[in-house]
Structure 1
Amino acid sequence: MVKTIENTIENYFKSNTQLSRDELGNLISRDFPELSEGTITVYLSKLKKAGVINNPARGIYSITDKQIFNPEINQNLKKIYNKIHKEFPFIEICVWNTKWLSDLMRHQPFKNFTIIEVDKEAEEQVFNAVSEWTKNVYFNPNDEILERYISSNTEEVTIIKNLVTESPTVKNNKIVIPTLEKLLVDIMIDKELFAAQQGELDFIYKSAFDKYDVNKAKMKRYAIRRNKEQDLERMISRIITK
């Protein structure tokens, strides 16, 4: 068979279900160096019209018709991220809110948390800095703190915790946030912190896999980092059989 873009396009998505325009273009150029950038653009347009590939977000290509997880980053999260990044420009940080899980749940939690994840060696410094301009900030709260002070707190709560090395994150509008794969693994492991999600864990996973383009390989790599690979495999096997 003559090698063409049409019969090799799926190979490019074996490792990643989503690729940026530059990533996909580079892969095509590697296999078809004779094609100009303009010709590649024409080919991609034709493949999109033929339904071979999808363009679920600007500059992103996929071979699935499922949605890309693209949560709303509100002004509070932007402010928090930008303040921390300005004061600590060389540390890894990601921010999110547990409200992002709401559309995957049957019942809505009583309250949501703002989560700030940072390098382990910078946790206390970030905690002290954030506490100066935000109230109800907690640093790696244990079960007792969660039960006594956080669960019953009706005000906005911010939690600072360790960002596991090599965590799957993505930059969205200049703000670094966790990927859906990371969120799914974290809520499975951190049962006390995400107690509100435990009763619906199977439903959350099934909803996520049905609605969004979830990269199981990425989940597995992260679960291995957290020493919970077997737990994740059991969870995925369980929801697939439902």
Structure 2
Amino acid sequence: MKNALHVKELEEFLKKQQLVSTQDLLNFYHQFNPELPISTLRWRIYELKQQGIIYSPMRGEYALKEKKQFHPKRTKRMDEIANLLQEKFPYVKFSIYPTKWVSNLSNHIYQTDNIIVETDIDVLDAAFYFLQENFSNTFLSPDQEMYDYYVSAQEENIIVTRLHFDAPLYKVNDNYYIPKLEKLIVDLLINDPVILPISYSEINTIIMNAIDTYSINFSTLARYAKKKKQSKKIK
């Protein structure tokens, strides 16, 4: 099977093409076996994906899997907040992440490091007041004006905002989740409520650095952008 996959030749082919279709792969393998049926190609695609040689950034499209997976480390403060929320709201889904996960992809150094807490809209206010009792620098869905007046760049602020249904997330445990990179990209593009005080040009830089560095599922990205009515911004 290994010889039939022609891995070395395929890697050279994909380095030149970057993104190929199923038909492109069929044409590639036809140079070694002109009679290769599409059913056999599907098995080869499956095997190549299992071996981590290729991945599918969108349905019917394939690329060489050279980029890293986005699996940043959780912080102690994240887990501290999660423990509090799980005790108070054991059945409510929530997501937590530090903005340094995205600001680290910038070409600049940012002093601001916020923690974003997203939860179901039904308990949004209750979660905000609960966290504010424990952390005074907690803010509820700040717009630009509120952010500029009240959010300190020298502190680790907590921003509580709505978690949208079907947002791309990884489960940590029970009702504790963290966002996938595709979600971070779309949310940063919108940046409303403000999660990071940053210019639009720098947002583009962060997104391009993310795409260059990490494997991204563009189908997931497009679906979430559509849910947030931001499809035009990611094209």
Q: Determine if the TM-score, normalized by the shorter chain, exceeds 0.5.
A: yes
Unaligned runs of 5+ in 2: 1-35, 56-62
C-alpha distance in 2 between matches for 1:181 and 1:221: 10
The structure-2 alpha-carbon separation of the partners of 1:163 and 1:8, relative to structure 1 and needing over 3 Å to count, comes to same
| 1-structure distance, mates of 2:54, 2:219 | 20
TM-score by length of 2: 0.72
Aligned with 1:10 (options 45, 51, 64)? 45
Kindly provide the CA deviation profile for residues 192-238 of structure 1, in whole angstroms up to 9, marking residues without a partner as x.
613325331222121111110011110110011111111221xxxxx
Greater relative contact order: 1 or 2 (C-alpha under 8 angstroms, separation 6 or more)? 2
- Within the candidate set 183, 201, 204, 2:203 is matched to 201
Seen in structure 2, the aligned counterparts of structure 1 residues 84 and 201 have a Cα distance that, compared at 3 Å, is same
Cα distance in 2 for residues equivalent to 1:181 and 1:95: 15
Could you tell me how far apart the structure 2 residues matched to 1:222 and 1:12 are?
29
Corresponding position of 1:141: 142
After superposition, the CA RMSD in angstroms is: 2.6
- SS in structure 2 opposite 1:166? coil
SS in 2 for 1:116: strand
**Given the alignment of the two structures, is residue 118 of structure 1 paired with residue 153 of structure 2, yes or no?**
no
Between the aligned residues of both structures, percent identity stands at: 27
Hey, what's the Cα distance between the residues in 2 that align with 1:137 and 1:181?
Answer: 25
SS in 2 for 1:199: helix
Instruction: Measure the CA separation in 1 of the matches of 2:67 and 2:172.
Output: 19
CA drift at 1:86? 2.3
- Give the superposition deviation at 1:89: 1.6
CA distance in 2 between partners of 1:115 and 1:105 (Å)? 18
Shift of 1:143: 2.2
Kindly tell me: are residues 200 and 191 of structure 1, through their superposed partners in 2, closer, same or farther at Cα, counting changes over 3 Å?
farther
Give the match's secondary structure for 1:167: coil
Compare CA radii of gyration and give the structure with the larger one: 2
* 1:227 matches 2:229: yes
Partner of 1:212: 214
Does the aligned pair in 2 maintain the 1:10–1:63 contact within 8 Å?
no
1:96·1:178 contact (CA, 8 Å) conserved in 2? Answer: yes
Q: TM-score, normalised to structure 1's length?
A: 0.70
1:83 aligns with 2:84: yes
Between 1:168-177 and 1:77-86, the stretch displaced more is: 168-177
